[in-house]
Structure formats: structure tokens, C-alpha cells
């Protein structure tokens, strides 16, 4: 079994992004630009994966960590020079070396697999990826000999009108025979005007050694669109989002309106779930089967079990058990956990709190730093007063408790199992199990139609 290594070029400055964040760390569909390429390399079993970094290298290392090894390119002297920086970490460790760019997130792993496969079966010096496109995008041209073999890659700066007219473009992605690469890449000589070491010279160097160069030609330009500006970033996001959405559709998920459905790459969704319009599913979100999500939901890093209906709500780092109904206008903040069949209605907020199975909080409630037992009913406007200005305190509400509307539970406090708190109560002391507690009812003071002069006692 032959071994594959990958070298990912990412030392470019990315000045056109106009950003303090290194270009390759800008997120697309929930993961940094560079991770799209890293994940593809890993999916192909590449090892080692060497990331060539320069500009913003500390931030890139900090973000990517152990997922790659790093080679540092101090001066940006061209793509050939960049690959040379990875030599020490890669030489002798693989049969083929895949060279990729860190800013080409739409390249399909399937295309790369094909490229590697061609290199493995033909055993040429290198296999390059080309695309046929009338719009040159400033890419180098692939020049072929009469027999159809690739002879050279010519950059636009050096191209004659005949070469400019060629529509086969070099994508900058190659699979090299490792021996050929490492014995040859150091022989690249700098090219004017910028005195850069062009990796593209490898084609001519192979031809000079009498070695064949293979080409995999594709026709989907979107795959090889590099990200240099925020316009490219958004265009790439559209391409990737369409692919993600289609993956879920083919897996049995209904998307009411794919154009307004934003699903991060890592999200998992079960069969027969319907995602309604204008919904964002982010991070490590997992949604079960047979749910209806949306319209208008923003859900991040949340697990939702089967059979839930979530309408127009925001959920962050929360857990929702099966058959929950939530919304419209609910907010689950980190640490919220709704048990099975909970019904959480309009304008509710739950934070760092568990609501037991079959409980109701139908209108205008805040439950924070609390645990609520099963079958409890929180009346409209129930508030756990969890913060006294200095510390956060917990509220415990037992199973089958009934909290009357508009009650304030001043934490730390508990309401026992099966107890009833009257509407409008301010609960400052623990209520034992199976007990009725009620507070400050309004007193009837006087009739507003009486003569006010009578009231001067």
C-alpha cells in the first residue's frame, strides 16, 4: 500500500481580505478555511500533513494545533520555495506528495482522490489538476505537446497571445511522485520579474528528465476558486452550503427553502426531519428524526432528540429530549436541558437548568440555575431570581409542583413536590412538599368613584 503525504501552502498574506485575522482562519460553514483542505487531506489518509505557514503563523498554529505539522516560510519567495520548506518533515516518509492550497475550500475530496489514483496507477513524475474555463481567473496555462502530453505551465505574465488564448488552466494542485519531487524541487530557479521560485516549473523539469506528466482535467471552475477577498469567501460559502444542504436532502431531510437554510458542516440531522425557512444550524448541533425545526431558528452546539417541534427560537449549547414543543420565541442558553415532552411556549428563557419530563412553561418565564421536576407547571411570568447582585443561586422545584403566574422565586430556594405557589407570590423561604404558599395579595383600598375629600383621615 503506497503512502501519501500532503503539503498545504498557506503562507500567503491574504492582504486583500483586509483583516487582522489570517485569511485561512476565516470561517466558512462553521469551520476555518484551512480546515476544509486539512479535512480533505486527512480523508485521503495523508500523513504527514505539513502546513506551510508564514503570515500570522502563531494564530494559525494556535487555531489548528496538532491537526497538522508546520513548516515556516520566512519570506514569501513563491510556491516552489514554499513546498521546499516542507521537505525536511516529509522526505522519505511517503510515496506520493499531494500539494494543495489552504485557500481553496471547494475542491472536492473526490476530485483529489481521483488525482491521487491517477498518480498511483500511472506512476508518472507528477499529476496535475487542470480546469477548462473561458475565464482565465489569472491562472497559469497548461501547454500540451502535439501528442497531448503536458509540456509546461506558463504564467500569464510570461504568456504569448497564443498561450493566453489557451483555456486549460493550472489549478495549482498536484500529486507528485515523492522521489521526483524531493530530488527536483530544490533545482527550481527564480523567475523574473519578482524572482519567485515557481512550483509550476516542475512540469518542465520532469519533461527535461524524460518523465511523463499526467493531467486530471475537470470542468467545474467553482471547485478551484481560491479565496482572496471577502467576495470570494461568500461565493465559496454558497458553493459549500449547497453541497451540505444537498447531502442532507439526499439523506432524507426536507429543506423547505434551501436558499435560506444555513447548516454547518458538522451538523447531523435524522431522517424525516423538516427544516423550515431561514434557519441556521451551527457547530456540533445534532437533530433527531421526525423533527420540525423553524422557520426562523438559530441553533448552535445543541442536541435535539426525535420528534421535536422548535419554532422561531434560539438554542445555544443546550439539550432537548424527545417530543419537546418549543416556541415561538424561546431561548435556550448554555446548560439548558428540556426533558421529554416539555412544552415551552412564548418568550421563555432557560439557562443552566433542567426542566423535567412533561413539564409546562408556556408563557414569559425565566428559569436559570434551576432544576424543575417532572409534570411541573410554571405559570405565565414565573421568574427564578437567581442573581442577588453578587452570586448566582439555585432554585429547586419538585415534581408536580404548580407555580402560579407572576411568581418570583428568590434563590436559593426550593418548592417541594406537589406544592402550589399562588399567583403573584414572592417566595423567599423553602416551601415543603405538598404545601400551599401564597403571598401579598392586593388589598381593596377604596373606590375610585368616592369623593377623595372623604379620605383624609
Residues known to be catalytic: 363
Which is closer to ligand UD1, CB of 136 or CB of 362? 136
Binding mask 121-140 for ligand UD1 (x = CB under 6 A): ------------------xx
Q: Half-sphere exposure of 34 toward its Cβ, with a 13 Å CA cutoff?
A: 28
Among 226, 381, 398, 404, binds ligand UD1 (CB under 6 A): 226
β pairing state of 141-144 and 436-437: unpaired
Does the footprint of ligand UD1 cover residue 56 (CB under 6 A)?
Answer: no
Which is closer to ligand UD1, CB of 149 or CB of 392? 149
Which is closer to ligand UD1, CB of 77 or CB of 277? 77
Query: CB of 416 within 8 A of CB of 431?
Result: yes
Termini Cα distance of the chain: 102
Query: CB of 27 within 8 A of CB of 33?
Result: yes
Binding mask 2-31 for ligand UD1 (x = CB under 6 A): -------xxxx-------------------
Helix axes 109-122, 33-43, angle to 10 degrees: 40
Query: Among candidates 115, 130, 121, which has minimal Cα distance to 46?
Result: 115
Shortest reach from residue 198's CB to ligand UD1, in Å:
4
Does the footprint of ligand UD1 cover residue 37 (CB under 6 A)?
Answer: no
What's the gap between Cα 448 and its chain centre?
62
Query: CB of 58 within 8 A of CB of 37?
Result: no
Does the footprint of ligand UD1 cover residue 174 (CB under 6 A)?
Answer: no
Instruction: Quote the CA–CA distance of 368 and 428 in Å, as a whole number.
Output: 16
Q: Which residues pair with 5 in a beta bridge?
A: 97
Q: What is the DSSP string of 59-98?
A: HHHHHHGGGSEEEE-SS---HHHHHHTTHHHHTTS-SEEE
- Rounded to the nearest 5°, which phi and psi values hold at 452? -60, -25
Which is closer to ligand UD1, CB of 155 or CB of 417? 155
Q: Is the dihedral of CA 297, 299, 302, 306 positive or negative?
A: positive
Shortest reach from residue 346's CB to ligand UD1, in Å:
49
Among 51, 96, 98, 103, binds ligand UD1 (CB under 6 A): 103
Does the footprint of ligand UD1 cover residue 233 (CB under 6 A)?
Answer: no
Shortest reach from residue 89's CB to ligand UD1, in Å:
15
Shortest reach from residue 197's CB to ligand UD1, in Å:
8
Does the footprint of ligand UD1 cover residue 176 (CB under 6 A)?
Answer: no
Among 28, 51, 82, 178, binds ligand UD1 (CB under 6 A): 82
- Taking every pair of C-alpha atoms in the chain, what is the biggest distance, in angstroms? 116
Which is closer to ligand UD1, CB of 12 or CB of 294? 12
Span of 71-79, 108-116, 176-184, 339-347 interacting with ligand UD1 by CB under 6 A: 71-79
Does the footprint of ligand UD1 cover residue 106 (CB under 6 A)?
Answer: no
Shortest reach from residue 130's CB to ligand UD1, in Å:
9
Shortest reach from residue 169's CB to ligand UD1, in Å:
6
Does the footprint of ligand UD1 cover residue 171 (CB under 6 A)?
Answer: yes
Which is closer to ligand UD1, CB of 48 or CB of 102? 102
Give the interface size with ligand UD1 as a residue count (CB under 6 A).
Answer: 27
What does the H/E/C string look like for 205-242? HHHHCCCCEEEEEECCHHHHCCCCCHHHHHHHHHHHHH
Does the footprint of ligand UD1 cover residue 102 (CB under 6 A)?
Answer: yes
Which is closer to ligand UD1, CB of 12 or CB of 288? 12
Shortest reach from residue 8's CB to ligand UD1, in Å:
8
Does the footprint of ligand UD1 cover residue 77 (CB under 6 A)?
Answer: yes
Which is closer to ligand UD1, CB of 171 or CB of 408? 171
Does the footprint of ligand UD1 cover residue 345 (CB under 6 A)?
Answer: no
Shortest reach from residue 359's CB to ligand UD1, in Å:
53
Instruction: Quote the CA–CA distance of 259 and 297 in Å, as a whole number.
Output: 15
Taken as a whole, the chain contains a residue count of 457
Q: Which long-range contacts (CB under 8 A, 24 or more apart) does 367-373 make?
A: 367/395, 368/333, 368/392, 369/393, 369/394, 369/395, 369/411, 370/394, 370/395, 370/396, 370/397, 370/411, 371/395, 371/396, 371/397, 372/397, 372/401, 373/397, 373/398, 373/399, 373/400, 373/401, 373/417
Q: Which residues bind ligand UD1 (CB under 6 A)?
A: 9-12, 52, 73, 76-79, 81-82, 101-103, 139-140, 153, 155, 169-172, 198-200, 226
Amino acid at each position: 500500500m503506497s503512502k501519501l503525504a500532503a503539503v498545504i501552502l498557506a503562507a500567503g498574506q491574504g492582504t486583500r481580505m483586509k483583516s487582522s485575522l489570517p485569511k485561512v482562519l476565516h470561517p466558512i460553514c462553521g469551520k476555518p478555511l484551512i480546515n476544509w483542505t486539512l479535512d480533505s487531506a486527512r480523508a485521503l489518509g495523508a500523513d504527514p500533513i505539513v502546513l506551510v505557514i508564514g503570515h500570522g503563523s502563531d494564530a494559525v498554529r494556535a487555531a489548528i494545533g496538532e491537526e497538522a505539522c508546520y513548516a515556516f516560510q520566512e519570506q514569501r519567495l513563491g510556491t516552489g520555495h514554499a513546498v521546499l520548506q516542507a521537505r525536511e518533515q516529509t522526505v522519505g516518509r511517503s510515496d506520493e506528495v499531494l500539494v494543495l492550497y489552504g485557500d481553496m475550500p471547494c475542491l472536492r475530496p473526490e476530485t483529489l482522490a481521483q488525482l491521487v489514483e491517477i498518480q498511483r496507477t500511472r506512476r508518472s513524475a507528477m499529476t496535475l489538476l487542470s480546469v477548462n474555463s473561458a475565464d482565465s481567473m489569472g491562472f497559469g496555462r497548461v501547454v500540451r505537446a502535439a501528442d497531448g502530453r503536458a509540456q509546461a505551465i506558463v504564467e500569464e505574465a510570461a504568456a504569448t497571445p497564443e498561450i493566453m488564448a489557451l483555456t486549460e488552466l493550472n489549478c495549482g494542485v498536484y500529486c507528485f511522485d515523492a522521489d521526483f519531487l524531493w530530488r527536483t524541487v530544490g533545482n527550481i530557479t527564480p523567475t523574473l520579474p519578482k524572482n519567485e521560485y515557481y512550483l509550476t516549473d516542475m512540469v518542465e523539469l520532469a519533461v527535461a528528465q524524460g518523465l511523463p506528466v499526467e493531467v486530471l482535467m475537470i470542468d467545474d471552475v467553482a471547485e478551484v476558486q481560491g479565496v482572496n477577498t471577502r467576495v470570494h469567501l461568500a461565493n465559496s460559502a454558497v458553493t459549500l452550503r449547497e453541497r451540505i444542504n444537498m447531502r442532507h436532502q439526499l439523506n432524507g431531510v426536507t429543506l423547505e427553502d434551501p436558499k435560506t437554510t444555513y447548516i454547518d458542516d458538522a451538523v447531523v440531522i435524522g431522517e424525516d426531519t423538516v427544516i423550515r425557512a431561514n434557519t441556521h444550524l451551527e457547530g456540533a448541533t445534532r437533530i433527531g428524526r421526525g423533527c420540525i425545526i423553524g422557520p426562523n431558528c438559530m441553533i448552535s452546539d445543541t442536541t435535539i432528540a426525535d420528534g421535536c417541534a422548535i419554532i422561531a427560537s434560539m438554542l445555544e449549547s443546550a439539550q432537548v429530549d424527545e417530543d419537546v414543543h418549543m416556541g415561538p420565541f424561546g431561548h435556550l442558553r448554555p446548560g439548558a436541558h428540556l426533558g421529554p415532552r416539555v412544552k415551552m411556549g412564548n418568550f421563555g428563557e432557560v439557562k443552566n437548568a433542567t426542566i423535567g419530563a412533561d413539564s409546562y412553561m408556556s408563557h414569559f418565564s425565566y428559569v436559570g440555575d434551576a432544576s424543575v421536576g417532572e409534570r411541573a407547571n410554571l405559570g405565565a411570568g414565573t421568574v427564578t431570581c437567581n442573581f442577588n447582585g453578587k452570586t448566582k443561586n439555585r432554585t429547586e422545584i419538585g415534581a408536580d409542583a404548580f407555580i402560579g403566574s407572576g411568581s418570583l422565586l428568590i434563590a436559593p430556594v426550593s418548592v417541594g413536590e406537589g406544592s402550589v405557589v399562588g399567583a403573584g407570590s414572592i417566595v423567599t423561604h423553602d416551601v415543603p412538599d405538598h404545601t400551599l404558599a401564597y403571598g401579598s395579595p392586593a388589598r381593596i383600598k377604596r373606590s375610585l368613584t368616592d369623593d377623595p375629600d372623604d379620605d383624609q383621615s
